[in-house]
Amino acid sequence: MVETRAQHRRRVTSLTWNKVESNQDVFQDVLSRLSVRSIRSFKTVNRYWHASVSNKHFATIHLAQSRKKPSYIACPRVDKAMKLYLLKPGKFNYRHHATVDPPGRSADHNMHMIASFNGLVCCINQLYDEHEVDYQIWICNPSTEETLLLPQGRPSVWTEPSIGVAYGPDISEYKIFRIFCVGKRNAGKGDYLYECEVYSSSTGAWRSIGPVLHLPMYVCFSPHRSDHVFAGGKIYWLVSLEDPAGIMLSVDMEENFEVMELPYYSTELREEDRITVATYLINLGGSPSLVVLHADYFDVWEWKEASWVFVIADEFDFMDFAEIVLFMTSSEKEILFVTDSHLWSYHLDTRKWKKRGRPPTRFTNPAIFPFTESLLPCNGGVRLAGK
């Protein structure tokens, strides 16, 4: 029987794919270039396919491929069910990616996204009673729709705790630092006392690491104290914007704390030209940086070799005076400014502004972070076997 052209093509394709499948390294490399949604559907093909995409080696190479296609993940409007959108650089079209509404969350309050790392996001959900203000802390993978509620930490009295996320260099490792109030000195009179505990993905439990001098502050329009950046292996929080002695707090993966002063502005300057309440921490190319907003311009400072280096000052050529910056984030040399109705990007090298796509709803307590899809489980990969 003569083989038709279509039959020949199918036979050659089958033989070629069988060769690819039999070489696990090549097979995994091919699959690692696909989306998480596609890979999840392939798990049902057979046991070999399932095992090939369910180990730490594959999660690592898939994450490496995803990082070549970075995007942003956005929660434009805070709500009880958190709707997340993907924004591709360049186009910035809002594509619905996931709705995070895990069972067991505190139903009386909204969820807030406070960090994004290795395809996972950290969210907080307020808990409240007469004497304590606290949070549920969730780790979520929006791409796989998995969620993990962390164990509740020690009670925080008088004021809500501040939370920060550190991670890497191993993709399975992350730590959640939680700074909270334990009371006041002198039997209720005087200064508050603060302590810190840390949750590790490797242990799945909280551990106390002792007293901390400062509790991070609310940043501008943020509804919580957990605004922070992770850069160069450390978490950074703003603590005080008092002029001229503002400070910020940092902690590294080895749990060492440090207090640093903010950039110096001469007291001879006008008040609106010094450190302002509209000051944001961002990560610029791996370095913690400050963006200080003034009436019609902004300054950028970068923390390098244990000191602040002035980077740039430029004008708000784009902004209507009615627009207020509600949130700020960055990726490499691009800074995103989020107002109540628009998203604007500023490139440090070209010094050019661009108006980006409108959100599906007006921004209300928004959060936007750099993001890459991944297959990592919410416990950081503890369940993943090796190669």
- Whether the per-residue pLDDT at 143 is higher than 90: the answer is yes
The strand pairing partners of 124, in sequence order, are 112, 137
Longest dimension (CA), the chain: 97
Asked if residues 251 and 234 have their Cβ atoms less than 8 Å apart, the reply is yes
Q: Which of residues 300 and 340 earns the better pLDDT score?
A: 300
pLDDT of residue 89: 76
What percent of the chain shows pLDDT beyond 90?
45
- The yes-or-no verdict on residue 370 having pLDDT over 50 is yes
Q: Indicate if the pLDDT at residue 383 is higher than 70.
A: no
Q: Is the pLDDT of residue 382 over 80?
A: no
pLDDT 10s digits, 277-311: 899 999 998 999 999 999 889 999 999 988 999 99
Residue 71 confidence (pLDDT): 92
3-state secondary structure the chain: CCCCHHHHHHHHHHHHHHHHHHCHHHHHHHHCCCCHHHHHHHCCCCHHHHHHCCEHHHHHHHHHHHCCCCEEEEECECCCCEEEEEECCCCCCEEEEEEECCCCCCCCCCEEEEEEECCEEEEEEEEECCCEEEEEEEEEECCCCEEEECCCCCCCECCCCEEEEEECCCCCCEEEEEEEEEEEHHHHCCCEEEEEEEEECCCCEEEEEEEECCCCCCCCCCCCCCCCEEECCEEEEEEECCCCCCEEEEEECCCCEEEEECCCCCCCCCHHHCCCCCEEEEEECCEEEEEEECCCEEEEEEEECCEEEEEEEEECCCCCCCCCCCEEEEECCEEEEECCCCEEEEECCCCEEEECCCCCCCCECCEEEEECCCCCCCCCCCCCECC
Strand partners for 205:
200
pTM attached to this predicted model: 0.89
**pLDDT value at residue 19:** 47
Confidence of residue 6 (pLDDT cuts 50, 70, 90): low
Q: Residue 385: its pLDDT value, please?
A: 58
Q: Output the pLDDT for position 364.
A: 84
Give residue 92's identity as a one-letter amino acid code.
F
User: In the prediction, which pLDDT does 293 show?
Assistant: 92
- Contact between 329 and 71 (Cβ < 8 Å): no
Render the burial of 47-56: b for 16+ CB within 10 Å, e for the rest: eebeebbbbb
Q: Percent of the chain at pLDDT above 70?
A: 86
- Helix 56-66 to helix 24-31 angle (10° resolution) is 40
Contact by Cβ (8 Å): 105, 136: yes
pLDDT of residue 17: 44
Q: Which of 261, 240, 259 is nearest to 250 (CA)?
A: 259
Neighbours of 356 (CB within 10 A): 20
Least confident residue range of 72-76, 128-132, 160-164, 224-228: 128-132
Query: What sign does the dihedral 55-60-62-66 (CA atoms) show?
Result: positive
Q: Are 118 and 172 in contact (CB under 8 A)?
A: no
Residue 21 pLDDT greater than 60, yes or no? no
pLDDT value at position 249? Answer: 96
Note the residue count of the chain: 387
Determine how many CB atoms are found less than 10 A away from the CB of residue 89.
15
CA-atom Rg of the chain in angstroms: 23
- State the average pLDDT over residues 66-91: 87
Task: Label residue 13 by pLDDT band (50, 70, 90).
Answer: very low
Among 116-125, 345-354, 374-383, the minimum mean pLDDT is found in: 374-383
Question: What span, in angstroms and rounded, lies between the C-alpha atoms of 71 and 86?
Answer: 7
154's CB contacts (< 8 A; 6+ apart) are 180, 182, 195, 197, 206, 208
